[in-house]
Structure 1
Amino acid sequence: MKKVLCIGELLIDLVSTDGETYIRKPGGAPANVAVAISKLGGKSFFLGQVGNDNFGKYLKSVLIDNNVNTTYMKEEGQTTLALVTLDKNGERSFDFYRGSDENYNLEVNELDINDECIIHFGSAIAFLDKNNTENYYKLLKKGREKEALISFDPNYRETLITNDLIESYKENCWNFIKEADFIKLSDEEAMLLTGKDSLEEAVLLLKSLNLNCVAITLGKEGTMVIQNSNSTIVESIKIKQKDSTGAGDAFVGGVLYKLSIYSENIDYIDVVGFANVVGAITCEEYGAIPSIPTIEKVNMRIKSSKN
């Protein structure tokens, strides 16, 4: 089984369904992915920084309780906060209050990376500051040198990626997309990054780029898998959605868990079918990390969906 290194933010989601009362939940895309991998039975590491405060201590305990390795995690300053407001359909809007995650100092030479590793880059805020951008590129370079499998999720957030940042954000995303073995996009991200006005046009461009594997999540419609010039829609399961927070991260965690146990001849249709179920189940409860299912729950749902 390959180990998976997840770099990026770990933060507090303050979640509200009425805009008045907020409930504390652990969050942050790469941390959600790391927990998903671990809950499914994989080996995950979190690389990032939280504050040396009560929020930070709580978040570190959440990772430890979920068997995520925190060897490369640091605690200093104040923890980043995200206010998450849900509408009646469980869809989200965000407001961010940035903390010390932007000061994370990655000592890349201390990492044990080889061809039995997966490195996941999946942060909404990695390209917003010089320090974390440098961390990402250093780790990408090391990963490619050591022939690790590279995963990338741009995690676009309109609240964060303002008009003056959008071009540099897109440039950085494309640099990682070109190097990645697996790329996860939403339909919105696919159109944003390709500069196309429709998903159909975006898909045509992505097909022409000879990328290893791109997965475009389509909500209840499932996931489109693009490999070279071919595309396939992989269906999901039917659920009653409460909260979509963390669903995309849980999906990525499902993909990376499956990739970690593949030795060769990866079947991405099988991988994505499994990950669709992981992401769907996560939508059935509130909050990201607490809602991510165990491997037993996923296998039970897959079995029941076939009956």
Structure 2
Amino acid sequence: MTGPDPRVLVVGEALIDLIPAPDGSLTPSPGGAPANVAAGLSRLGTRAVFAGTLSSDALGGLLRRRMTDAGVDLTHCGESDRPTALAVASPQPHGTRYDFHHQDTATFRLTPRTDGLDGFSTVYVGGLAAVVDPAAGAVLATARAAARETVLAVDPNVREDRSLDRAAVLRRLRELCELAHLVKASDEDMSLLWPGEAPEAACRRLAAGGRLAVLTLGARGSVAFLPDGRPLRIPAVPVEVVDTIGAGDAFMAALLGGLARFGRSPADLAPAAVLELLHRAATAAAAVCAQAGADLSGVRQSEVRQSAVRQSAV
């Protein structure tokens, strides 16, 4: 499935998070779930190729510098004169709420990527681009092609915003989950996507279709469901939380990086390998929670890998 130098194609948005400071001001910070995943992958030692669109404005320049500093390959990234999308963050006790300013921005002018996907070990799609037009159509076309040619990884990362059609959002994200070989979702995501069905039951059902389904539970850790229905659980890594912005994206980046190194389809992994992936991902998520912002710049890949091996041995 993969060569000796695996690459992950990340499709979606890079935008600016406006994060409230204690004095009430807003601090711009590079964000967007796919961009966070791409930067995290690269920081952790996996070659990441970002297929989004960056604005030629100053904020687009900030996003470009963030990814080039992390080592992300931007040769598949487009450029537009339209402005950069903004996400105003409102940290809450159990997560972060966002208000998005995305209409007619460069951020969501994506090009479908349907050729040459077998040259990537994994294609990741998710974030707001999966549900915001005109990007959503490009994301879906890319996901359908990736599902046929390589490993498709999806993080539904459900966002609710006044500008979005809720029914269309859920329909699009459910389709992506059903195309995927690897689904990573929070318990809140699953409750929104399949209301009336317990999150663990929904993940077990997804896994039964030949997928690896990973459910994150915040402070309660995470659980992966194998295609045969077996759950594999790990606790969260203890950490003093500064904020949770980007924690799920760091978890996904570490999960994808570990998967690329195994070089096998997620459904074919042995339970011990899945547990190692979960520990690796939990370590990266904890590292992001312990700092302000979504970047893994202060985390060395060796620390994540060694911590994962130690925890898997416990």
Establish whether TM, by shorter chain, passes 0.5.
Answer: yes
Structure 1: how far apart are the matches of 2:12 and 2:298? 19
Q: Match for 2:160 among 138, 158, 161?
A: 158
Provide, for residues 179-233 of structure 1, a one-character-per-residue CA deviation record: whole Å limited to 9, x for no partner: 2111011111111111126xxx332243234141111111121101112322232
**Are 2:201 and 1:204 aligned?**
yes
Q: Indicate conservation of the 8 Å contact 1:236/1:276, yes or no.
A: yes
Match of 2:125 in 1: 121
Q: Match for 1:100 among 86, 106, 119?
A: 106
Tell me by how many angstroms 1:97 deviates: 1.2
When residues 90 and 23 of structure 1 are mapped into structure 2, their CA distance, relative to the original with a 3 A threshold, is farther
Match of 1:69 in 2: 73
Match of 1:258 in 2: 258
Structure 1: how far apart are the matches of 2:146 and 2:129? 21
Provide, for residues 15-58 of structure 1, a one-character-per-residue CA deviation record: whole Å limited to 9, x for no partner: 11447211121100001001111111001011111211011011
When residues 85 and 167 of structure 1 are mapped into structure 2, their CA distance, relative to the original with a 3 A threshold, is closer
Q: Indicate conservation of the 8 Å contact 2:158/2:192, yes or no.
A: no
> Higher mean Cα deviation, 67-76 or 153-162?
153-162
Tell me by how many angstroms 1:108 deviates: 3.6
When residues 16 and 90 of structure 1 are mapped into structure 2, their CA distance, relative to the original with a 3 A threshold, is farther
Which structure 1 residue ranges, 5 or more long, are not aligned?
none
Q: What TM-score does the superposition give when structure 1 sets the normalisation length?
A: 0.89
**Are 2:6 and 1:2 aligned?**
yes
Match of 2:171 in 1: 171
Whichever residue aligns with residue 222 of structure 1, its letter is G
- Aligned pair count reads 297
Match of 1:139 in 2: 142
Which structure 2 residue ranges, 5 or more long, are not aligned?
none
Indicate the SS of the match to 1:172. helix
Indicate the SS of the match to 1:243. coil
When residues 292 and 92 of structure 1 are mapped into structure 2, their CA distance, relative to the original with a 3 A threshold, is farther
Match of 1:227 in 2: 226
Structure 2: how far apart are the matches of 1:156 and 1:17? 25
Q: Match for 1:86 among 69, 82, 91?
A: 91
Whichever residue aligns with residue 15 of structure 1, its letter is I
